[in-house]
Amino acid sequence: MQSKGKQILAVWGSPNSGKTVTAVKLAMALADRKKNVMLVLCDDICPVLPTIYKSKAPIEVSLGEVLSAPNITQEVILRNSLAFEKNSYLSVMGYKAGENPFSYAEYKKERAIDLLVLLRHIVDYVVIDCSSILTENIISTAALEVADTVIRMGSCDLKSISYFMSILPLISDSKFDADKHIKVLSHVRQFQSGDEYKNAFSGVSYTMPYVQSLEEQSETLTLFEELTNKTAKGYGLIIKAITKEAFGDE
């Protein structure tokens, strides 16, 4: 198997900061390059799949099956991932409705790393929607360690600041390369200048605007559809700029 360049992008940050929405849109932008993309949804406390993936039949596959399999193989991964009818370059894996952290046997960090390493060989790009609760979600912590690029999402609220004050010391070890994270301030509304928050986060590289149609998409299970209106254009340009910073033009 050939060794490839940068491939793994982890989206991490404070609760409710737009990690899932951003991970979906980044994965879609990468699939637009006609490259195979796997979106990994790590949250096992509030499974994300049933909140973003429209399925005619009940979903019977799970990321939990992969992480608890005796051997993580390409076959196990493909069997537990879902493809999109409308976009053959995009696949997704995550926990299914009703699952919780006790649904599967415990797994160690090495397992999560095995999965991420194998994904590098199976697809061109891996986008990981991490859980904010790093202390409870091993695959998210592993993702922060092995990702080529980490997007750190924060929002304009005191809870977001409080979250980073508590959690950043937990990833201060050099293996996390936390100072290389790409910092993003998310869903900034027009009345918010965002400057105070940019300072509180010691500067950010990108500021994403609040886009009403995006919120509507995430409330109506249509996040995988294109955003068409004018206000979403600026948002789309930022998504493109982040993919370019993470992976170059192609």
Ligand X SMILES: Nc1ncnc2c1ncn2[C@@H]1O[C@H](COP(=O)(O)OP(=O)(O)OP(=O)(O)O)[C@@H](O)[C@H]1O
Amino acid at 203: G
> Which helix (H) or strand (E) covers residue 219, if one does?
helix 212-219
Residue 39 or 69 with smaller CB distance to ligand X: 39
20 lies in the site for Mg ion, by CB under 5 A = yes
Smallest distance from the beta carbon of 25 to ligand X, in angstroms?
9
Smallest distance from the beta carbon of 12 to Mg ion, in angstroms?
10
How many positions of this chain bind ligand X (CB under 6 A)?
18
**Pairwise CA distance, residues 23 & 141, whole Å:** 16
208 lies in the site for ligand X, by CB under 6 A = yes
Return the beta strands (E) in the chain as ranges: 8-13, 37-41, 82-83, 90-94, 125-129, 149-155, 182-188, 206-209
> 3-state DSSP: the chain helix, strand, coil percent, rounded to 5?
40, 15, 40
215 lies in the site for ligand X, by CB under 6 A = yes
- Structure tokens given for 180: 């290389």
Amino acid at 241: A
Interface segment toward Mg ion; rule CB under 5 A; list 13-21, 68-76, 198-206, 216-224: 13-21
Smallest distance from the beta carbon of 2 to ligand X, in angstroms?
33
Question: Strands 82-83 and 90-94, how do they pair?
Answer: antiparallel
**Pairwise CA distance, residues 30 & 38, whole Å:** 10
208: partner contacted, choices ligand X, Mg ion, none (Cβ within 5-8 A by kind): ligand X
218 lies in the site for ligand X, by CB under 6 A = yes
114: partner contacted, choices Mg ion, ligand X, none (Cβ within 5-8 A by kind): none
Residue 88 or 231 with smaller CB distance to ligand X: 231
Sign of the dihedral through C-alpha 106, 68, 100, 120: positive
214 lies in the site for ligand X, by CB under 6 A = yes
Smallest distance from the beta carbon of 43 to Mg ion, in angstroms?
6
16 lies in the site for ligand X, by CB under 6 A = yes
**Pairwise CA distance, residues 67 & 69, whole Å:** 6
DSSP string, 61-73: --HHHHHTSSS--
**Pairwise CA distance, residues 25 & 183, whole Å:** 17
Residue 118 or 200 with smaller CB distance to ligand X: 200
In the range 185-244, which residues lie near Mg ion by CB under 5 A?
none
In the range 187-206, which residues lie near ligand X by CB under 6 A?
187
Binding-site string for ligand X from residue 42 to residue 81, where x marks contact by CB under 6 A and - marks none: -x--------------------------------------
Residues that bind ligand X (CB under 6 A): 15-21, 43, 132, 186-187, 208, 210-211, 214-215, 218, 235
Residues that bind Mg ion (CB under 5 A): 19-20
